[in-house]
Structure 1
């Protein structure tokens, strides 16, 4: 298998099933599914979709918790040439209905908890409803499947065909459907080979299957014939038990999960020696936490900075560059990352601006939203198209990217740019700060002013405000500290700063 020869993921699974049908592909709790059984199940899903009239380039939607059935439905749809829209169950009922309509899903796979949350809205859907677990409405998954032994009509899958439609979190507005092609996903699988993915891989995944964070590790593990251990919900103690029991070699975690794992008093008592590589993405990963992981957790540590939309990715191989833990690394091979100012002019190394990226791994566009696709694109003077990241940063002298903040989160106070991450880093130096987020709020005097939301272990708000303001410049001073029990986060650990701004406005 070479990087030059495109091979659809369903064909990779079939090849593994023919070569080693009894090899385990999926593990969840006490349930195990071999490659032979997974391949057969994918055939039955694909044949059922064809029976129900779905054709290549049609779409289905899945909104459910992680399960082997979820994985089989996803992979089986791909075998039929059908695109999959994995939708977060945490979305509002209105958003779920809107996303199903937007992607044009003809079949909607759902579990009981999501169906209960949708209520009567479920009856308004044009899509056929298939229940993935006991008690879910619609046609039970077992009854939906084509009969045992069924084979779908062969489908020629091309690189430009839509693989999935992943909807943005909607934390900054209406979710947008990000269309990723089979060619883009094949690139993800091939890029994983140097990271040790292969037939002996045991990937432990605790983030949900509807998240691109999970999928960029799930598909390579399956594509290379490894085993995937699925967790329905993250629990630090259970995660460590599974890692030890299954001799996990690879994992993808978000920073808040690393933080909770490393904070456990019994962390060092678990045998994690089988780990070859650990990955992180999706949210800011502090240098101190990276250093702790490197010191106490066997295997390498790699941080990815990029977008579901693709375009450009930075990679920090932390175990190779322990002196660069404050950065997100350098552009991945073949990826072009540049820095631009507010007027779209490219900036030299060392200057702060918005990061834009270009590579072969790029979305086909936002589904049904050409205007937003165009708005997310920056065209260089030489006519090359780059994806805007919305992140503010700069290149250091060695070509490593230092992130400052999300562009939308930057605070402009009295004409000065204030980066919340700088203030958050200062507050984290206080021993009583367990978690913190700084947001900009309206100010009659300064336009905007920074306010810190802190999860405190005991210090009061006045003491924390004084601590921070003694350590920052005059223009950076925090105007208020609000103590909070827990910061609002998305399903992959991103702090929902809009909710904090809204809470402040209502107070």
Structure 2
């Protein structure tokens, strides 16, 4: 198993003067701010890794990482891995309580932070950040060793090391990875959880490498190609393949016009569905305003655009093909625990829409098992035994939970591994699925009550107990309302203490006194990634099944007319 930097060194020796990283900036996001060749990237990573070791970084050290994609951050991320550390991604925008719980769970020894984030969390910009609803943690007060990128700003803690200066006077002498170290921790990603049970996925050097190799399959990456994306899961495979990773100035949803200009003519890109919607909105608006010939004549995109990290709908792909007909659209399926797992193109997915949600053929090395023995809601399986309308009986498959294995399978969850439990051998996705006669995976539902908004998985069962403790609330249920681009609106349905339980459909209202009161309080008890788009009050909750649990499907139908007016 080669280390990522070892693979980079191989490319650097053969093409040292080829551009590996190209970072855009400027007011309109269209100016190239920095270019780094393969030779320069390899040298900077080696020297930075040597500097980290000289400052005391030891194998196994966890590094809290809060730096946006840009060359300095890419160098540091690779250098941390090279030096034997593990990168820990924690969202600084979560509630202070949850952030503290995640830090306690991860126990980082280092924190790598942008100087600007220090200024916004403890320096002169703190007031501005708070006025915009950002309750950022004070990174400078964390009991860790500090690294920062960018120029020094007020708020950067005393003794912090500027990344650009690490290893300037030191030769790159970090030894190559030993084979036995391929199973050491490399990446920790918090995905969900509460303050009492933060949930984080752990990947090793080996499984991270497997992930990047699989993404290389998705994009069919080759030397000399341009990958324009802010997602490292396509950017890193691109440079390992000998291509150029073009990094936009801002995330696509924050500056869609700049992204549209940058991605035009690229060989590949990777976006989440919400970013695709922002890109298509800009392209469509520009076409209508400036081209009498229509969108197809005036809009340009990459040769291949992969969409993933959230459900990819047929409606989104149809719109994408219409606005960017010259682009090959791919839908990527997977989870943080095992990513990517399967891929299909737009034509195939659209043609198979009647049979369920086709996510495609498993990628090379991915193992698939359909487990019919597990279903958390066996009363709701009567319509799952024959999930296809096809006239061919060979296309009908019995449905069960989709279970995956493969080279990108996580080592396990952080709390389990730190407690000495065995490593993961498979991932139970919670998706109900079947495989058709061609071996393609088709999803037909969820086996768990999970909402996916953007790239965040929201497990209602983790948060609803805390919501029920709010003043005046008798019961609380979180539901997801699907929208055309594949995302979901999160709606919190509450009932009032002392309310009645009449028969029939409940009355649902937005803007009631209780709904407004709860909406004002949820920021105190929920991770910001789980905050509802809308809070409504119900006269009572519809129930279903022998267990008389809240009927979430019925609630989705009841709140959809209201949720449709919510702006994401």
Q: In the alignment, is the contact (CA less than 8 A) between 1:300 and 1:318 conserved in 2?
A: yes
Deviation at 1:358, TM superposition (A): 2.0
Distance 2:443 2:214 in 1: 23
Give the structure 2 partner of residue 462 of structure 1.
none
Q: CA RMSD in A?
A: 4.0
1:173/1:260 CA distance change after superposition, 3 Å: farther
Counterpart for residue 242 of structure 1: 262
Q: Which runs of 5+ in 2 are unaligned?
A: 25-32, 123-136, 288-294, 386-395, 452-459, 461-477, 496-500, 511-552
Structure 1 counterpart of 2:338, from 283, 303, 310? 310
Of 168-177 and 400-409, deviating more is 168-177
Q: Secondary structure at the match of 2:343?
A: strand
Deviations 1:437-465 (A, max 9, x none): 37574674689979799xxxxxxxxxxxx
Q: Which residue of 1 is the match for residue 251 of structure 2?
A: 233
**Using the alignment, how far apart are the partners of 1:196 and 1:100 within structure 2?**
37
Number of corresponding residues: 434
Deviates more, 1:230-239 or 1:137-146: 137-146
Matched with 1:102 is 105
TM (normalized to structure 2)? Answer: 0.66
Distance 2:350 2:420 in 1: 37
Is the 2:263–2:269 Cα contact (8 Å) retained in structure 1? no
> In structure 1, which of residues 147, 156, 160 is the aligned counterpart of residue 168 of structure 2?
147
Aligned equivalent of 2:54: 51
Counterpart residue number, 1:3: none
Q: CA deviation at 1:196?
A: 2.1
Match of 2:188 in 1: 165
Question: Once the two structures are superposed, what CA deviation does each residue of 1:361-416 show, in whole Å capped at 9, x if it has no partner?
Answer: 21111123359998997xxxxxxx431223344556664312434721489xxxxx
Cα distance in 2, alignment partners of residues 313 and 391 from structure 1: 13
Pair 1:284 & 2:311 matched:
yes
1:156 corresponds to 2:183: no
Q: Which residue of 2 aligns with 1:342?
A: 375
Equivalent residues of 2:72, 2:163 under 8 A apart: no
Q: Distance in 2 between matches of 1:311 and 1:483?
A: 31
* Map of 1:188 onto structure 2: 211
The residue correspondences of 1:48-447 to structure 2 (distance < 5 A) are 48-119=51-122, 121-136=138-153, 137-138=156-157, 139-142=160-163, 144-158=165-179, 159-170=182-193, 174-194=197-217, 195-206=219-230, 214-231=231-248, 232-234=250-252, 235-244=255-264, 247-264=265-282, 265-266=285-286, 268=295, 272=300, 275-297=302-324, 298-310=326-338, 313-324=341-352, 326-334=357-365, 335-340=367-372, 341-342=374-375, 350-370=397-417, 385-395=425-435, 399-405=440-446, 407-409=448-450, 424=482, 437=489, 439=491, 441=493, 444=501
SS of equivalent residue, structure 2 residue 449: helix
From the superposition, tell whether residues 438 and 109 of structure 1 become closer, same or farther in structure 2 (CA, over 3 Å): closer
Question: How far is 1:11 from its partner?
Answer: 0.7
Structure 1: tracts of 5 or more residues without a match: 1-5, 207-213, 378-384, 412-418, 454-473, 489-507
Question: Per the alignment, do residues 151 and 180 of structure 1 end up closer, same or farther by CA in structure 2, a change over 3 Å counting?
Answer: same
Structure 2 counterpart SS, 1:168: strand
Change (3 A) 1:148 1:316: same
State the alpha-carbon separation in 1 of the partners of residues 210 and 503 from structure 2: 47
Secondary structure of 1:110 counterpart: strand
Quickly say closer, same or farther: Cα 1:447–1:370, change in 2 above 3 A: farther
- Partner Cα separation in structure 2 for residue 389 and residue 372 of structure 1: 23
Aligned to 1:37: 40
Q: Residues of 2 paired with 1:171 and 1:98: CA distance?
A: 8
